[in-house]
Structure 1
Amino acid sequence: MILIGRRTLVAGLATASIAAPARTRPRSSPIANTRYGKVRGTVEGDVLVFRGVRYGADTATTRFRRAVSPRPWSGIADASRYAAAAPQTRASEPTSEDCLFLNIWTPALDAGKRPVMVYLHGGAHAHGSGSDPLYDGGNLVRRGDVVVVTLNHRLAAMGYAYLAQLGGPTESGNVGNLDIILALQWVRDNIAQFGGNADRVMIFGQSGGGAKVVTLMAMPEARPLFHAAATMSGQHVTAAGPIHASTRAGAWMKQAGAPDLATLNQLPIEKLVEAMAMTDPLEGKGEISFTSTLDHGVLPRHPFVPDAPREAAHIPLIVGNTHDETALWIEKILRAGDTTWDNLPQRLAKEMVKDLAPDYVVRRYRELYPDRSPSQILLAASTAGRSWPGHLIQAEERARIGAPTWMYQLDFPCPEAGGILGAFHTLDIPLVFDNVDAEGSRTGTSPEARRLAGQMADAFIALARTGDPNNRAIPGWPQYDLAQRPTMLFDRTVRVDNDPRREERLLFAVAPYIKPGG
């Protein structure tokens, strides 16, 4: 989960290889028109910012159902502050069922026809919002003359509890994704008033946000609304199955004290959120898990099973992962440094998703990397056996249908603790946003980190603008194929490597990947 802090202004003009044209900015608050009414934003340096722009009506009136567009308003709505996040456990900012708002960063309100970069936040479909300081779009705007959008949508049970088999709405297991579709429709209809091009929209997201990206590619209603995509550590290849999803929804209703759907619709939101903290009834650990659901309607298929959707083959896609994903979850163990050859198999067994004998995996890793410590092997094997397989499947299945796909691996290590954490899950967010100075960034602010941030940002900007991430800031980046498996390694030196970690890939390839909780 990414914790949401209050925003700090990222000052300064980033050195750009995709330069934005110089402009003189008015100091007065900008006012933009939307189909529903006018909104007043702010000026931050040389960027116009509109926070808390309504794209949907209060979802308290449409619980577990498709949201509706907002009613038009008179006067000028304030868009200077972030709006409430979706109801969620462990919230660190105000929440409300009235949460369908988005945020826009733009260079100008002219008819610029700029590429639009829409970011979907992470948090395992259960936490987060579009207001994290790491998601500030100002530096992307300055680098590439683009428009950046972040958004809030319904989460956890309110966005993904599948109630169709319990007599509820058919689409209830995907209303969070339908909220995103509503936001993308708002972008289509309104972004020209903010200097953006509705015919050049890219969606990108990290972790749960990346999972939403690839899920939207499998949703017929969503596909016409965007033209490029990028998933950052969003390893989902399957949605939740309807039987498992129904089991979870029923357990949650019981925990909330709702014997039927009528009662569920009338319970106060605080009671529903409290019930979301229950232990998952299928996995027996963690909070109850709600995610996109195969409902045979708005989501008629899994994102990458049995293959990549051919209907989305024309959409260019970046598939990204970090070299040491699991360090985010086993950080305390790595910092303690108390992993030994004796306890390594037991610890590894708790982290792997692929069902291989942990002692066999340890033995093979010691053969491959005889100089590595038990802690280093725990990190490498848990990543290769848990987080990496989903990314590989996405790239492989896209390659099989000839869809334009580029794969990257972040190797740049977090500088904390002498680098023992490596490049963990979420570390690429501040780099892609060119926000290494932002609150929550753990990349450090070294010249190497700043240079890498510019290179990753420029690649994403190029994808948004042209449908191809190649640009003059990085070496040539070939499309992924099954013969060579070219992968861009983002590190102090950016380079392409064919089939990186090949022996680790082959080690785990003998077992199927089954997403936990599906």
Structure 2
Amino acid sequence: MAQSKTIAFFVAGFIPVAIVVTTLSILLTSNNDLVPPDVDAGYVIAQIPRIGRLRGFLTNESTAVFYGLPFSQSTAGEYRWQKPRDPLPVEDDYKRIDAFKKPKACPQVCVFPSPEYSCPPVEDMSEDCLNLNVFVPSRLTKREASHRKLMSDSEEKLAVMVYIYGGAFMAGGNAIPLYDARYLSEWGDIIVVTINYRLGAFGFFYQDDGTSTAALGNFGIYDQIKALEWVHRHIADFGGDPNQVTLFGQSAGAQSIAVLMLQDEVNHLFQRVVMQSNPFGLPYKDVSAAQALGNSFARWARCAPNDLNCLRGLSMEELLERYKTLPYAMQLNAQHISEIFEPYSPILDGILLDNDPMYLFKEGKNQDKPMIVGYVEDEGAMFVGEIYSSPIQSQRIYKASAQIIFRQHTDIVVDLYPPQCPRINPQETDCDERIPMDDAVTDYMFTCPGRKAMNSDRNKAKENADIWFYTFNETWSFPEFWENYTLCWEMVCHTEEVPYLFDIDKLTEYRFEDGEAELAARMRTFWVNFAKYGNPNGPPETAQEVPVSDNLDGIQSINKQTGEEFQQSKAKGQIYWPRFFETDQSDPNTSYRVLQMTAHGDREINDFRKEYCDKLDDLDYYLENYNIPGLLMNIKTKMNENEL
């Protein structure tokens, strides 16, 4: 279930690793329940100005779903590696548009396990992929003769949540089962939007040929901005409040949100954010490193560097094949080994970003908005398990792995995260050095840089800064979904919290156990309260005193039978979640406060991982450079000399 937290290394191989992340999406059973079988529940019609007469579908819970609404145009051909354009203008507001089929996904190489659940089908990929899905709770629909009709003209507008998927900026999609938002929307009485954005070499490719059509990267981020502009312009016509928008995302989605929080020009497009498992400790490329990677890719694609006419002349399938087969060695930045985790990601271009977000947040340069930030207990386990699929019982391998990252600080880090195995006859024990490796990776790349980013002078100056920090500590009762990632069968791995948030066990042949269902209800309640009130505990006047409900349906604000409104902002077992810097009257020496979520009940932890994070902060070694070729040669020499 939970396990300690420890850091140590991560080397080449992240691509499949990071990608595997969303793999837990595997949670789902069969796709058949998600599309046109759902249409058996009926259609829903929505007349949306400047868009058309939409025909969406109703889920079995009567949630209205509108799939594949375009927020831009195709990015193929001459528009490949260009900023997204406005969608085509609508000439006839009454033109019928079918919005009940799963939309196209952006081109990608998706290698998650159980791809039928976690990856878009290859045949559903297209460069005309900039679309979004809208989920609307049933109370905003009205039964008509043969269908239901969206009723969006009420003066009361619902809170809106916009989800940005993760996947190492390499893979993902707004219509894979893991991110199906029907239950979150219906249960929370909110509108949920899931968006697409360009990925990998299609979304973060850099080739500056000095022309006006240069490929200057960060297209995936610009796609996200374009989607948010669409939401701001149109969501009121679906019954949503454009001035009450919460962004939430996991992993690369959380990284994207951090980038968006550093853009003043989009400040009006969202009001709150939830960043789940943001690896603030993962560095981004500068333009020279991005150009070097682009040169390597161009040559691999049999084009000259900066020959964008050649590259844009390749078909999507040709480009994908070259992208898929690009050797890891050609993607490796010799000065930043950890970039292998995300070869294509946001670029420090001097426009969107002039430094890594951790430092910019620490300096207080982000928008001052309410935030939920948190991590799962063993963020690093999946990455460690990708490289070492079997238990490691060698201190030499453990220390060599630590040195790849920490160089001159290796001894300090190994003392902080000591090896588990004895030097003599370790095979006689059940020790596993992957455990301290996980703790080290989790702290160094995730928890501690996240703490540092939130620990700005601006935030500390305000005891009531609207920041809530969590650690999620619950494994699934169906660990077999991790398949060959056996280290995650008993550890809380990256992405483990996502199925609870979307409550998607109902889309599978599996079911959460009672404790898991209660945890899922509490987590959804926190997130929905935050979207509605800016506080995960509920409306300000009742944030601490609202009695706990025994009803797992927790937070419904409308009685479907009587139509009467009521407020119920706490779920079974839910406790008060203090702000990050909120003073603890019982322990005034506490520096910060964190909520731990488990199926056995939530609890507050004061100064979570403080001893470890303080020491890593003192090293001041986050996001540092390392000379990989020389370092690996040094390690090899030491191992040959039996010094490790």
- TM-score calculated relative to the size of structure 1: 0.86
Superposed counterparts of 1:308-347, under 5 Å: 308=362, 310=364, 312-331=366-385, 336-347=390-401
**In 1, distance between residues paired with 2:45 and 2:408?**
58
Select which of 57, 80, 84 maps to 1:63: 80
Deviation of 1:438 after TM superposition, in Å, equals 4.3
Measure how far apart 1:212 and its partner are: 0.3
Preserved contact between residue 416 and residue 612 of structure 2 (Cα < 8 Å): no
8 Å contact kept, 1:87–1:273: yes
Aligned: 1:242 with 2:287 = yes
Give yes or no for the alignment of 1:422 onto 2:491: yes
Counterpart for residue 15 of structure 1: none
Q: 1:29 to 1:331 in 2, by over 3 A?
A: same
Q: Does 1:501 align with 2:501?
A: no
Deviates more, 1:179-188 or 1:401-410: 401-410
Deviation at 1:368, TM superposition (A): 11
Residue 457 of structure 1 and its aligned partner are, at CA, apart by 1.0
Residues 240-279 of structure 1: pairs in structure 2 closer than 5 A: 240-259=285-304, 260-277=307-324, 278=326, 279=328
Quote how far apart the aligned CAs of 1:323 are. 1.0
CA distance in 1, matches of 2:391, 2:518: 31
1:8 to 1:395, Cα distance in 2 relative to 1, 3 A: farther
Distance in 1, matches of 2:508 and 2:87, equals: 33
Alpha-carbon deviation of 1:236?
3.2
Deviations 1:36-58 (A, max 9, x none): 32221001122001111111111
Once the two structures are TM-superposed, the CA of residue 367 in structure 1 deviates from its matched residue by 9.4
Q: Is the 8 A contact 2:43 2:56 kept in 1?
A: no
Q: What letter corresponds to residue 86 of structure 1 in structure 2?
A: C
1:97 and 2:97 matched: no
2:257 to 188, 193, 213: 213
Query: Could you say which structure has the larger radius of gyration?
Result: 2
Which letter maps to 1:148?
Answer: V
Aligned equivalents of 2:421, 2:444: Cα separation in 1: 16
SS of 2:471's equivalent? strand
| 1:115 and 2:131 are equivalent in the alignment | no
Give deviations 1:283-331, integer Å, cap 9, x for gaps. Answer: 5795871111222224455433244475644311111111101122233
Q: Secondary structure at the residue paired with 2:468?
A: strand
Quote the Cα distance in structure 2 between the aligned partners of 1:373 and 1:209.
32
Shift in Å, 1:194: 1.4
Tell me the matched-pair count.
500
1:399 to 454, 459, 462: 459
Aligned: 1:475 with 2:575: yes
Deviation by residue 1:401-424 (Cα, 9 ceiling, x = unmatched): 645211111111344369763211
Mind listing any 5+ residue stretches in structure 2 that lack a counterpart?
1-18, 35-40, 111-118, 141-149, 423-429, 480-485, 539-569, 583-589, 627-644
- For residues 397 and 417 of structure 2, what CA distance do their matches in structure 1 show? 15
Amino acid across the alignment from 1:494: D
Report the counterpart of residue 16 of structure 1 in structure 2.
none
- Counterpart of 2:297 in 1: which secondary structure? helix
Taking a change above 3 Å as real, the CA distance of residues 470 and 287 of structure 1, as seen in their structure-2 partners, is closer
Q: 1:100 to 1:291 in 2, by over 3 A?
A: same
Kindly indicate whether the alpha-carbon contact (under 8 Å) linking 1:410 and 1:489 is maintained by their aligned counterparts in 2: yes
- Share of identical aligned residues, percent? 26
Distance 1:365-1:338 versus aligned 2 partners, 3 A rule: closer
For residue 160 of structure 2, give the secondary structure of its aligned residue in structure 1: strand
Residues 1:413 and 2:475 aligned together: yes
Q: Letter of the aligned partner of 1:192 in structure 2?
A: A
Structure-1 residue corresponding to 2:170? 126
Secondary structure in structure 1 of the residue aligned to 2:243: strand
Shift of 1:439: 5.2
Q: 1:226 to 1:167 in 2, by over 3 A?
A: same
- Aligned-partner Cα distance in 1 for 2:461–2:108: 38
CA contact (8 A) 1:57 1:100 kept: yes
Q: Aligned AA for 2:449? A: G
Counterpart CA distance in 1 for 2:407 and 2:396 is 20
Q: 1:273 to 1:419 in 2, by over 3 A?
A: closer
Q: Residue 517 of structure 2 aligns with which residue? A: 450
Q: CA deviation at 1:356?
A: 6.1
CA distance in 2 between partners of 1:429 and 1:51 (Å): 21
Pick one of 273, 290, 294 that aligns with 2:344.
Answer: 290
Q: Residue 56 of structure 1 contacts residue 101 of structure 1 at CA under 8 Å; is this kept in 2?
A: yes
CA pair 467-288 structure 1, distance change in 2 beyond 3 A: closer
Residues 447 and 384 (structure 1 numbering): CA distance in 2 closer, same or farther, change over 3 Å? same
The question of whether the paired residues in 1 share the 8 Å contact of 2:160 and 2:246 is answered with yes
Deviation for aligned residue 1:226: 0.4
Counterpart contact for 1:322–1:409, Cα < 8 Å? yes
Gaps of 5+ in 1: 11-25
Amino acid at match of 2:73: A
Q: Name whichever of 144-153 and 249-258 sits farther off.
A: 249-258
- 1:428-447 to 2 correspondence within 5 Å? 428-438=497-507, 445-447=512-514
Tell me what 1:21 maps to.
none
Counterpart of 2:447, as a letter, is: W
Secondary structure of the structure 1 residue equivalent to 2:275? strand
In the other structure, the counterpart of 1:379 is: 438
- Aligned residue number for residue 152 of structure 1: 196
Residue in 2 that maps onto 1:202: 246
